[in-house]
Structure 1
């Protein structure tokens, strides 16, 4: 994720907002009578009824911005917006697809004239924690407490997988709706493994032994997205939590002193750094971006690559025939690990927001309610080849092999599912922060102890900065 320019710092954002009188508090309203937008500004009004529980103004414009990146915007134009128009035929949808969300919208947030619904994603993402701390986002509690699109007797929140609502909570309220459910782990070519008789490892000892066999076959055991070192943070923290328990991750999220120096974290860092020392990483990986590293993996130059379950879709145009992409959880560092070998990280992602100063915020909430319906979620999966946070929405959908493999991995994990929040809460701590230190570690330029010291310094920087709002879980 590219760092947003310094103009978008909290102090400058706040100064600009105060100068224009644009800064207001987000609020939520009761689901009865007239519904008004956050901050007490009656920018839109609608009558809340059984058929319209969020009080959507039925003849107003809904201005939408969709990040035009890996998912494109067809899921919006072909699935969700037709559903909205069918229910509210007199409403107008102003659809915009944008690559650089911050470039297109940061001045509008400051001026107090944001759109009604934003897919705040991509390298030009406006930092979510920044928006929350500057009171720029609408409280989504009404959305999650509203009757679901499919069953008026079931609340929206009760149709979602565990952790979906919590993934967008800052403090004591949800401000971000995450739609995609990403399963993280290691990916390999099952066809290649079957040809060589290789078995996927469940322990790190088995992994290193297999890496030796793979190297003898003339294939690099691992590659990773070198210049985007966060990809290696994912297996590092997952394996650490498997070894030491999920409280390892909670301590990191809560900025506890010494959290990055936990023995489980250090052991995981040692294991991954050892791949480079053992010659198990594809030559040149350190300088590769995600396209180059994943491309080399697709070409069969490396056996394993860490990534989220979007990988199959991202590689679709370059994956050769006969390449059967498959998912596996990261191996256990010890047989005495606190969690099961099947444990995976699965996280709700792809953020959607309703600005506090939107002219039609109730329309924005309703658009989210549509997205979180069975039809809306199924359409999303079919269009972008991603699982969603809506329970059962992918049932009966013919998924690609890789995504099916990830779904099976998630089902096998049961309740042993991990997540962490610091990249969402503290963007700069993650990037360039932690990522830069992990990049140096994986390149062999610093030791594990130096990596720990660097990560601890990044956490301390946030912990001691009074201008940054802190969150805990």
Structure 2
């Protein structure tokens, strides 16, 4: 699929997409990169005259200016952004233009190339313009000033002090904070509380218990594990979580830091891939799941055709229309392999949904102020109400807002995890490596390769990424 084309799966909420673009688009050519780096300077429009900088207006937003906002209209919809824009226009006297689309690359690549990008972009989904590509092309504004500005909720605090752990680190590209990942999501398995209660199944805490529930499901004529076959991003959640939990944080960091033994010579990695392959070999997958899109497999799961499905916590909002009223959606941390270094309660909890202010935005001051407003409790609560998801603002949801079962379950899992949360960085730092590992997982699930070949391909992807000159700026301690 070319960068400008459309395809199946665009309604998804890509996270710790979101982290990824799901391997649907090719890496942009050098012509795009050079256009990013140099093109369009002369076409760049000057923004409105800046107003005086004050504590209340730290970026000097001019009254009566224009604000151009483009958001990915996926699992979260775009009603939240429309509500934000109305609030912003009311406060600042601006006139907002709004575009909600799934075709981020097709709509925005020409604008970036011409030097007239929007002021705020939610750069997400299957047609995301890869963040590492934009960063290398000097297309992203440094957002450090937003972090250092006064919080709208408590002006004695800086915005950065009101955010969850990881919000800063996961916004870095080459050592610069250029991406505000806004949604705080948890990743793991999901199941129906109603189905498990009816069948008398206990939520599994170990991989052996997980396989046992899958086997009982098969006996009952139900698939054990459904996965979003056409988008191997999701089965990678399972594989990579198993690696982190069995091998500990060092095993995860070895992958992010592109170590020569990140996969080869890492017993936790082989054990994780073999565990997932066992589900395939034992016939415990939901029949046909390898050929389905994310929404097709998730809908089959909503129809009680499978016991488990892997996803991030955007799943509930994405499946609102397909989920039976009494389904009772529940989150499950990844069950443990034998001799795991992290406890069962440990979960991948990461920030996603990347918002950016382009370096050549016409109204950069308003773009910065818009992001500062997003990091207020008022706007965070609007998002929770409209999108059934949590944000990176600590305690950012008004407690009077009632949450849906899946979201509530995710909140409880985060509480139980405490400090035992982890998150990979490689999908954002090395998008090509991420795609190559996803492709290997696709082959594995179709039984076209064995676990040892998966390890070999994953390590080759790491070794290739290690040659990236920018890799030296991306080290994790």
CA distance in 1, matches of 2:31, 2:371: 31
Partner of 1:146: 149
State the SS of the aligned residue for 1:351: strand
Q: For residue 419 of structure 2, what is the aligned residue in structure 1?
A: 415
Equivalent-residue separation in structure 1 for 2:43 and 2:270 (angstroms): 43
* Match runs of 1:271-286 below 5 Å: 271-286=275-290
Deviation of residue 157 (structure 1)? 0.7
Q: Which residue of 1 aligns with 2:429?
A: 425
Residue pair 1:44, 1:359 contacting (<8 A) in 2 also: no
Q: Say yes or no: does 1:67 pair with 2:87.
A: no
Q: Partner residue of 1:116?
A: 119
2:374 maps to 1:376:
no
Residues 1:14 and 2:31 are matched in the alignment: no
C-alpha contact (below 8 Å) 2:299/2:319 kept by paired residues = yes
Shift of 1:54: 2.1
Distance (Å, rounded) in 1 between the aligned partners of 2:298 and 2:179: 30
User: 2:443 is matched with which residue: 440, 443, 468?
Assistant: 440
Which residue number in structure 2 is paired with residue 315 of structure 1?
319
Assess if the C-alpha contact under 8 Å between 1:312 and 1:403 holds in 2: yes
In structure 2, relative to structure 1, the CA distance for the partners of 1:428 and 1:416 (3 Å cut) is: same
Does residue 45 of structure 1 match 2:46? no
Q: What does residue 210 of structure 2 align with?
A: 207
Name the counterpart of 1:105. 108
Contact 1:4–1:126 (CA under 8 A) maintained in structure 2: no
2:336 counterpart (332, 337, 343): 332
* Deviations 1:442-461 (CA, angstroms, capped at 9, x unpaired): 22221111001111111222
What is the distance in 1 between the residues matched to 2:155 and 2:33? 40
Q: Which among 334, 353, 358 is matched to residue 356 of structure 2?
A: 353
| Contact residue 35 and residue 113 of structure 2 kept, 8 A | no
Structure 2 length-normalised TM: 0.90
Deviation of 1:331 (Å) = 0.8
Does the CA-based 8 Å contact 1:17-1:111 persist in structure 2? no
- Contact persistence 1:222–1:302 (CA under 8 A): yes
The counterpart of 2:88, out of the listed 76, 84, 89, is 84
Distance 1:22 1:258, change over 3 A: farther
SS at match of 2:187: strand
Q: Do the aligned partners of 2:120 and 2:357 also contact (CA within 8 Å) in 1?
A: yes
- Does 1:177 find its partner at 2:175? no
Q: Closer, same or farther in 2 for the Cα pair 1:396/1:247, shift >3 Å? A: farther
Q: 8 Å contact 2:226–2:301 — kept in the other structure?
A: yes
1:50 to partner: Cα distance: 1.7
Structure 1 residue 129, shift from structure 2 partner: 0.6
The offset of 1:263, in angstroms, is: 0.9
User: Which structure 1 residue ranges, 5 or more long, are not aligned?
Assistant: 25-36
Give the alignment partner of residue 455 of structure 1, picking from 454, 458, 461: 458
CA contact (8 A) 1:17 1:112 kept: no
Correspondent of 2:295 among 271, 275, 291: 291
Q: 2:247 aligns with which of 239, 244, 247?
A: 244
Question: CA contact under 8 A between 1:226 and 1:285: conserved in structure 2?
Answer: yes
Displacement of 1:87? 2.0
In 2, the alpha carbon distance for the partners of 1:422 and 1:216 equals 39
Q: Which runs of 5+ in 2 are unaligned?
A: 1-20
Q: Does structure 1 conserve the Cα–Cα contact (< 8 Å) formed by 2:40 and 2:114?
A: yes
1:390 and 2:410 aligned: no
Deviation (angstroms), 1:4: 3.8
Secondary structure of the structure 1 residue equivalent to 2:353: strand
Measure, in 2, the Cα distance between the counterparts of 1:425 and 1:202: 32
Q: Determine if contact 2:47/2:363 at 8 Å carries over to the other structure.
A: no
Supply the distance in 1 between the matched residues of 2:26 and 2:456 (Cα, whole angstroms).
27
How many pairs are equivalent?
453
Change (3 A) 1:264 1:369: same
- Shift of the 241–425 alpha-carbon distance from structure 1 to 2, 3 Å rule, reads same
- Three-state SS of the structure 1 residue aligned to 2:453 is helix
Mapped to 2, the partners of 1:23 and 1:447 lie a distance apart of: 52
Superposition RMSD in Å: 2.0
Give the whole-Å Cα distance in 1 for the aligned partners of 2:24 and 2:65: 36
Secondary structure of the 2:457 match is helix
Which segment drifts farther, 97-106 or 262-271?
A: 97-106
